[in-house]
Amino acid sequence: MEFRLSRHAEWEMASRGLSLAMVQAVVDAPEQRLRDKFRAGVCIYQSRLWFEDGKMYLLRVVVAEEHAPPVVVTAYRTGKIEKYWSAE
């Protein structure tokens, strides 16, 4: 999917050590795509990925889909996979 990064997303990705390739991979083929419960037009694309430390994390990419092209608002990884993973 074609998208653009917000300045906030660029800053957060750099500070969190997340590459554009990782974010692109999740946006292109997410394991899950969830609607944000609080913000209309915003979706969370997420996938479980192995990171360089040998641990699996959930990479979550928040995308404002109401824009053309969609805007990546932020991206982050979390070890709390069970908390964010949808069983549905």
Query: Residue range 18-26: average pLDDT?
Result: 97
Query: Residue range 12-21: average pLDDT?
Result: 96
Q: Which residues make Cβ contacts (< 8 Å) with residue 4, sequence separation at least 6?
A: 67, 69, 70, 71, 72
CA distance 64 to 81: 22
CA distance 10 to 78: 18
Here the tokens at position 35 are: 């609607």
Supply the pLDDT for residue 14.
97
29-42 pLDDT, tens digit each? 999 999 998 998 99
Contact 36, 43 (CB under 8 A): yes
35-88 pLDDT, tens digit each? 998 998 999 999 999 998 999 999 999 999 999 999 999 999 999 999 999 887
- Residues β-bridged to residue 63: 43, 72
Supply the pLDDT for residue 87.
85
Which residue segments constitute the domains of the chain, with CATH numbers given? Answer: 4-80 (3.30.2310)
Supply the pLDDT for residue 88.
72
Supply the pLDDT for residue 49.
96
CA distance 1 to 69: 9
